[in-house]
């Protein structure tokens, strides 16, 4: 099931990129479907890797903290800058699409496993928890460097104040780092004090989660490669994704081969 979800996520991502680049049919439901596929894979991977209790702990923390921060951000503009969702992502809860907390977890988990693979740490009880939290938050935010401008251009949310980064305020990325530090910090602190035993089942291969992270970044890299006439913004976002999300993926793969 886990690998089927990963394969489906990769297949839908590839089709979506080709549809955008070549003008193929691109129904609106592809994006929420892809989000749920990657979310399902992340949870299926987390259960044997973290154990059921810790996997649900990370899921619950990610859902509640991201929803709370997003709701506060939409209402006040304090966290990410002044913005509003347009409703194109489906039903809203506290002014935030219900799909959004799922999207936070679908990337927060692979970014955590990627970081632990690179640092040689355990995602359950790392020796350097704040180092893991900080680096994972940075690599999670690296995804947003490409994702946020692209999604803004597609009209999924609107920035009330145009920022210097393709129209996105720089405060947004500070807010992302803060949100992820809260999520990872809370998870790692509670996990280290959790009384539940570590899962006795074999861990899922960490490179599967690394691949999920890589697929999310590859979506931005492939678009200008498949469409040489892609506009300058799409080309720039492809370069940004390649040079921010690519290096940790390569390091994780090299570490796995050395191990």
Q: Does residue 107 sit within a domain? A: yes
Q: Does residue 131 sit within a domain? A: yes
- What is the reported pTM? 0.94
pLDDT at 29: 84
H/E/C letters for each residue in 168-216?
ECCHHHHHHHHHHHHHHHHHHHHHHCCCCCCCCCCCCCHHHHHHHHHHH
pLDDT at 201: 55
Q: Are 169 and 94 spatial neighbours (Cβ–Cβ below 8 Å)? A: no
Q: Are 124 and 198 spatial neighbours (Cβ–Cβ below 8 Å)? A: yes
pLDDT at residue 134 above 90?
yes
pLDDT at 193: 82
**pLDDT class of 198 with cuts at 50, 70, 90:** low
Q: Does residue 61 sit within a domain? A: yes
Q: Does residue 144 sit within a domain? A: yes
pLDDT at 68: 97
pLDDT at residue 78 above 90?
yes
Q: Does residue 163 sit within a domain? A: yes
Please tell me the distance from the alpha carbon of residue 76 to that of residue 82, in angstroms, as a whole number. 7
| Total of domains in the chain | 1
Q: Does residue 118 sit within a domain? A: yes
Q: Does residue 127 sit within a domain? A: yes
Q: What are phi and psi of 97, to 5 degrees?
A: -55, 135
* Domain, as residue range, for 111: 50-202
pLDDT at 199: 54
Please tell me the distance from the alpha carbon of residue 238 to that of residue 244, in angstroms, as a whole number. 10
Q: Does residue 38 sit within a domain? A: no
């Amino acid at each position: 099931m886990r690998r089927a979800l990963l394969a489906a996520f990769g297949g839908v991502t590839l089709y979506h990129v080709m549809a955008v680049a070549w003008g193929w049919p691109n129904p609106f439901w592809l994006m929420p479907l892809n989000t749920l596929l990657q979310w399902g894979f992340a949870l299926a991977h987390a259960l044997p890797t973290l154990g059921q209790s810790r996997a649900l702990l990370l899921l619950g923390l990610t859902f509640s903290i991201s929803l709370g921060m997003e709701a506060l951000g939409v209402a006040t503009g304090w966290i990410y800058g002044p913005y509003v969702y347009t409703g194109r992502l489906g039903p809203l809860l506290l002014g935030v699409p219900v799909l959004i907390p799922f999207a936070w977890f679908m990337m927060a988990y692979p970014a955590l496993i990627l970081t632990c693979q690179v640092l040689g740490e355990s995602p359950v009880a790392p020796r350097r928890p704040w180092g893991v939290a900080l680096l994972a938050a940075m690599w999670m935010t690296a995804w947003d460097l490409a994702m946020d401008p692209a999604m803004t251009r597609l009209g999924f949310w609107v920035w009330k104040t145009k920022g210097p980064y393709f129209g996105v305020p720089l405060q947004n990325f500070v807010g992302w780092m803060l949100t992820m530090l809260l999520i990872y910090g809370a998870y790692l602190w509670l996990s280290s004090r959790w009384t539940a035993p570590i899962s006795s089942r074999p861990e899922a291969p960490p490179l599967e989660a690394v691949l999920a992270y890589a697929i999310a970044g590859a979506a931005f890299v492939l678009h200008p490669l498949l469409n040489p006439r892609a506009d300058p913004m799409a080309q720039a976002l492809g370069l940004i994704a390649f040079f921010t999300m690519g290096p940790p993926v390569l390091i994780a793969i090299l570490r796995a081969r050395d191990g």
